[in-house]
Chain A
Amino acid sequence: MADTGVVEALLLGLEKAEDGVDSLELSSSLGVEHQVVVGAVKSLQSVGEVISAEQRSSKHWQLTEEGVEISELGSHEARVFECIPVEGLLQSELMKLPFGKIGFTKAMSNKWIRVDKTSEGGPLIFRSVQTIVDQVREKLLNVLNGKDAELEEKEKSELKKRRLLSEVTVKSYWITKGSSFSTTITKQETELTPEMIVSGNWKDNKFKPYNFEAMGVPLDCGHLHPLMKVRTQFRQIFLEMGFTEMPTNNFIESSFWNFDSLFQPQQHPARDQHDTFFLSDPALTLDFPQDYLQRVKKVHTEGGFGSQGYKYEWKVEEAQKNILRTHTTAVSARMLYKLAQQKFTPVKYFSIDRVFRNETLDATHLAEFHQIEGVVADYDLTLGDLMGVLHQFFTKLGLEKWVEVGNSGVFRPEMLLPMGLPEDVSVIAWGLSLERPTMIKYGINNIRELVGHKVNLQMVYDGPICRLDT
């Protein structure tokens, strides 16, 4: 806080002044350090338009340490002159004095002294004039008293050369009255207090202005993960469209439900060790609906249900192998099979959950990701229905182009009829990954920056709410 006395003196001085005051002059007239006046200026600036201050810099001559000594004791040559008695002084004695050497040279060139080299005992020095005027000291005293303007530039530079004077730059303020100038400053309150509200003092108080350029304080709060926020929105979209959520909490699945029931042949490359995670423990599933399994075997091997089949030797051993499910369609297959065991009613199903691929990993592929899946089973669904539902779904996402991130189709009769669904029931379905649209939405190029333990928590902290349709 600034010295209130100085603040008051500044304001009083400014009131009297015609145009303004200089902070340096003020400090010398008040006899305080210049910094104290600067503090008062800063403090007044912070309370509004009381004063205005403009920074200026001025050049200014100052005595060096040696200059100060001379201003007090006289120049070296004057001191040499003073110490020479009438009977003279041995030069060797003079040279022992601290100012002797320089003083002798200068006094000689001033012709104030002379040397008698013929005397016995060494050269002897005498005064050669009666009185002298110590101009160097007088000039320095002038500078010291702020009257350096009386010196000529040449004189100043000579003194500078003798290292008695130096030139310094001084920063000061030119202070003038502000638009709301007043000699009395009311103390500004920083904040509204309960006491002010109770007493009503807030009506009379002035408040320190806020700095609206600064940021607020970071809050101590919890956050939801960006991908999970997107998942919530996708769930919302499906629910709005009347789709019921499937129970997908079974990561481990048998090859039968993941592949065979979907009429995917056993030699399909997706069933390769390089694409699918197989389990060593628990390695096999032995419990299948036997009559259904026989129908699946038949449709693969020899066809039926209007199909030629794949005409290969279908092996139950292959179907028994446990895997980490490669798509949530395995769950859709279980749900449709279950549906077929009852009297058929049309359904709409969806799920969003993890699936696993034993793929080569890169910037957009991880061993696990979330699959979004929608399924509609109804009598006589058409390709027009599939395209209509897809259109509605992607419109809700706000981007029709997103069709490109997924795939869609009509489930084959070879999949549906062995389950026992009526012949006139069609099932349409589509799927996409949750990560891909999220990465597009948030402009993330590397999937590792979005999911997994290596993500930067700052990304989670800074994430916006998810509004897919904007």
Chain B
Amino acid sequence: YVWILFERDLYLINSKYYKIMSDEEFDELCFQFGLELDEITSEKELISKEQNDSKAAGASDVILYKIDVPANRYDLLCLEGLVRGLQVFKNKLEAPRYVRVSPVSGQPQKLIITKETAAVRPYAVAAVLRDITFTQERYDSFIELQEKLHQNICRKRSIVAIGTHDLDTTSGPFTYTAKPPSEICFQPLNQTKEFTATELMSLYRTDSHLKHYLHIIEDKPVYPVIYDSNGIVLSMPPIINGDHTKISLKTKNVFIECTATDLTKAKVVLDTLVTMFSQYCSQPFTVEEAEVVYPDGKTCLYPELPYRKEKLSGEFVNRKIGINESTETVAQLLTRMCLLSKLTGVGDQIEVEIPPTRSDIIHACDIVEDAAIAYGFNNITRTTPRSYTVATQFPLNKLTELLRQDVAAAGFTEVLTFALCSKEDVGDKLGKKISETGAAHISNPKTAEFQVARTTLLPGLLKTIAANKKMPLPLKLFEISDVVLKDKSKDVGARNSRRFCAVYYNKSPGFEVIHGLMDRTMQLLGVKPLRGEGYHIQAAEDSIFFPGRCAEIFVDGKSVGRLGVLHPNVVTRFELTMPCSALEMDIEPFL
């Protein structure tokens, strides 16, 4: 979900509501439309929540609505689109038809892409909003929508970057090329002098906003740049626009360019911007085309503003939702969701037109979902899947559940520790080399706590004791959970292993207690104390345990784990002070 924030009164005015709509009514309307009114707030409240009351002192009290919008509904990311969507939903407005037009003067604006862009950002699309009228609110919303798109579908400008320019300050044809940073020089937005691209990158290193975008191009040999016919820089995407062509409240003609690494997304972004803001053009919902010339000479006209038709049956929609409505009703429901629908007259077939604002509709199932929203989820009768199924437990989990109960009954307390840990926890602290542990390594941990997947449960239990030193002794703890080991026989190269680990921590090592727990566990698992066909333990050496105080557990002649008195070095490395005995064994052999 993505949130949008806007003034309540602006919503009311734009919706041509002359009587006050209550917050409750608006909340209900959002819910019916599949959105959530997340918060009713004000700038003052937001600042005082994020910072403090004193900072909020001068801030505005104007009531704001914060709404959660599904992340792929780009048509609802600005107030213009939200108002339009809700008006259509309430049958107060017919969905507008977005039209691409040729310029009156004849020739469309041209954007020529050179082959150098292939190395960094190969795609570009463009369009013109002709004779637009901005007000402060409209202008703010225009900027805000670009920012929302940049943060979402554009993936923080990495996939698509938008540039908007005052067409009356510049003249085409425009050239989209890529050059070494030292060869790009211009006066960027809101600066008073010219900088080379190299200088700009270091200038913006400390800019709280722009510094997040530098990594997209900084390692590239060439940077993308757009020039007009006079060599004036329009923008250096995806970082900054030029100051020369910047738009203002007085701008009448807007040239929009989107550069991208993904052409599909660039087209969606351009379509979204122009469908939302062509509302304010002298010919509303018309967009002037621009011609893009590719390095191979191929030309394309943008924006595409595609209207696509899907055919589906009324029965299909009813069957998927679990309702029984007439085909006419289904068509009406869809039309209210801006999906203009008509009966074709062939059986119960409906022809649904998907407008350029609804790039999220990529399959008939999306149309069904919109019909369900318009119908109202709460109006759908709850039913139960009819098939008879018999439940089965996963055998390893069943064994784990049964064993946990009885180990607790034996006087041990269950703990729950993390599956991720530091290399040190399973390596150095246990006297082992990390390379010998068979641990799976994480490439991008934010802290040392998440360097590897644990290969043993013991460190988690010892860390639990270290955090609970004030508890009365003895401490008797256990955990039955998974560790992860590299395993070439698996498709992913690793597997989980279900372990049982227990520790006894007291003034004396209490090996006999841990030994007794092991005997009891074998009893619970139905294994007899017998060499060969049963279990036995025999002396072993392990850096975890004190020499001479470690034994290996064998079941049917195969090793399943170890028990013993912990080595004082291990005790000390986990910041403990008392003797401790421990047991860790694999429980999968007992399935």
Q: Which residues of A contact B (CB under 8 A)?
A: 220-225, 227-228, 232, 235, 238-254, 267, 269, 273, 277-285, 287-288, 303, 305-312, 322, 324, 346-348, 354, 356, 358, 366-368, 376, 378-385, 387-389, 391-392, 410, 412-414, 426, 428, 451-458, 460-461
**In the complex the two chains form, what is the Cα distance from A142 to B179 in whole Å?**
122
Please state if A367 and B391 are interface contacts (CB–CB under 8 Å).
no
Which 6 residue pairs across A and B have the least CB separation, nearest first? A382-B322, A282-B493, A384-B322, A346-B387, A280-B443, A453-B463
Please state if B409 and A222 are interface contacts (CB–CB under 8 Å).
yes
Partner of A382, one of B321, B441, B445, B496: B321
Residues of B within 8 A of A245 (CB): 391-394, 397
Please state if B417 and A452 are interface contacts (CB–CB under 8 Å).
yes
**In the complex the two chains form, what is the Cα distance from A309 to B321 in whole Å?**
23
Please state if A383 and B394 are interface contacts (CB–CB under 8 Å).
no
- Given A243-B391, A309-B362, A383-B380 in contact, is the A456-B320 Cβ separation under 8 Å? no
**Stretch in B9-17, B399-407, B541-549 with 4+ CB within 8 Å of A:** B399-407
**Stretch in B201-209, B292-300, B467-475 with 4+ CB within 8 Å of A:** B467-475
Residues of B within 8 A of A283 (CB): 443
Partner of A306, one of B363, B390, B417: B363
Residues of B within 8 A of A460 (CB): 413-415
- Given A244-B391, A267-B155 in contact, is the A308-B420 Cβ separation under 8 Å? no
- Given A251-B453, A279-B442, A306-B363 in contact, is the A392-B384 Cβ separation under 8 Å? yes
Residues of B within 8 A of A223 (CB): 408, 413-414
Q: How far is the CB of A30 from chain B (nearest CB, A)?
A: 48
Q: Does B446 contact A (CB under 8 A)?
A: yes
Residues of A within 8 A of B386 (CB): 378
Please state if A278 and B393 are interface contacts (CB–CB under 8 Å).
no
- Given A245-B397, A456-B468 in contact, is the A222-B319 Cβ separation under 8 Å? no
Please state if A282 and B491 are interface contacts (CB–CB under 8 Å).
no
Residues of B within 8 A of A235 (CB): 393, 397, 401
Nearest residue, chain B, Cβ from A387: B382
Q: How far is the CB of A279 from chain B (nearest CB, A)?
A: 6
Please state if A385 and B384 are interface contacts (CB–CB under 8 Å).
yes
Q: Does B411 contact A (CB under 8 A)?
A: yes
**In the complex the two chains form, what is the Cα distance from A228 to B493 in whole Å?**
29
Nearest residue, chain A, Cβ from B263: A311
Residues of A within 8 A of B389 (CB): 242-244, 346-348
Residues of A within 8 A of B29 (CB): none
Please name 10 pairs of A and B residues whose Cβ atoms are closer than 8 Å in the assembled complex, sorted by A: A223-B408, A232-B401, A242-B391, A245-B393, A248-B394, A382-B321, A385-B383, A413-B363, A453-B464, A460-B414
Nearest residue, chain B, Cβ from A347: B389
Nearest residue, chain A, Cβ from B375: A383
Q: How far is the CB of B380 from chain A (nearest CB, A)?
A: 5
Q: How far is the CB of A119 from chain B (nearest CB, A)?
A: 86
**In the complex the two chains form, what is the Cα distance from A252 to B438 in whole Å?**
14
- Given A247-B396, A254-B491 in contact, is the A306-B364 Cβ separation under 8 Å? yes
Q: Does B59 contact A (CB under 8 A)?
A: no
Residues of A within 8 A of B404 (CB): 224, 228
Q: Does B256 contact A (CB under 8 A)?
A: no
**In the complex the two chains form, what is the Cα distance from A436 to B423 in whole Å?**
29
Q: Can you add 5 more A-B contacts, CB < 8 Å, to A251-B482, A279-B442, A322-B492?
A: A222-B414, A244-B392, A279-B443, A453-B417, A455-B416
- Given A278-B443, A455-B464 in contact, is the A221-B264 Cβ separation under 8 Å? no
B303-319 vs A, Cβ < 8 Å mask (1 yes, 0 no):
00000100000000001
Partner of B363, one of A242, A250, A348, A414: A414
Q: Does B125 contact A (CB under 8 A)?
A: no
Q: Does B139 contact A (CB under 8 A)?
A: no
Please state if B441 and A279 are interface contacts (CB–CB under 8 Å).
yes
Q: Does B410 contact A (CB under 8 A)?
A: yes
Please state if A389 and B493 are interface contacts (CB–CB under 8 Å).
no
Please state if B382 and A281 are interface contacts (CB–CB under 8 Å).
no
Most interface-central of A287, A324, A458 (chain B CB within 10 A): A324
Residues of A within 8 A of B323 (CB): 384
Residues of A within 8 A of B493 (CB): 252, 282, 284-285, 322
Please state if A250 and B495 are interface contacts (CB–CB under 8 Å).
yes
Please state if A251 and B385 are interface contacts (CB–CB under 8 Å).
no
Please state if B365 and A412 are interface contacts (CB–CB under 8 Å).
yes
Please state if B494 and A282 are interface contacts (CB–CB under 8 Å).
yes
Please state if A252 and B363 are interface contacts (CB–CB under 8 Å).
no
Please state if A307 and B362 are interface contacts (CB–CB under 8 Å).
yes
Please state if A246 and B394 are interface contacts (CB–CB under 8 Å).
yes
Nearest residue, chain B, Cβ from A348: B389
Residues of A within 8 A of B420 (CB): 277, 324, 356, 367-368
Q: Does B26 contact A (CB under 8 A)?
A: no
Residues of B within 8 A of A455 (CB): 415-416, 464, 467
Partner of B442, one of A227, A278, A378, A410: A278
Please state if B380 and A308 are interface contacts (CB–CB under 8 Å).
no
Please state if B382 and A391 are interface contacts (CB–CB under 8 Å).
yes
Nearest residue, chain A, Cβ from B413: A223
Please state if B444 and A281 are interface contacts (CB–CB under 8 Å).
no
B428-465 vs A, Cβ < 8 Å mask (1 yes, 0 no):
00000000000011111110011001000000110110
Q: Does B476 contact A (CB under 8 A)?
A: yes
Q: How far is the CB of A428 from chain B (nearest CB, A)?
A: 8
Partner of B484, one of A252, A384, A426, A428: A252
Q: Does B113 contact A (CB under 8 A)?
A: no
Please state if A227 and B394 are interface contacts (CB–CB under 8 Å).
no
Residues of B within 8 A of A354 (CB): 419, 482
Nearest residue, chain A, Cβ from B392: A244
Please state if A224 and B408 are interface contacts (CB–CB under 8 Å).
yes
Q: Does B372 contact A (CB under 8 A)?
A: yes
Partner of A308, one of B321, B322, B363, B405: B363
Residues of A within 8 A of B463 (CB): 453
- Given A280-B441, A383-B320, A454-B467 in contact, is the A247-B394 Cβ separation under 8 Å? yes
Please state if A461 and B413 are interface contacts (CB–CB under 8 Å).
yes
Q: Does B178 contact A (CB under 8 A)?
A: no
Residues of A within 8 A of B449 (CB): 367
Residues of A within 8 A of B387 (CB): 346, 378-379
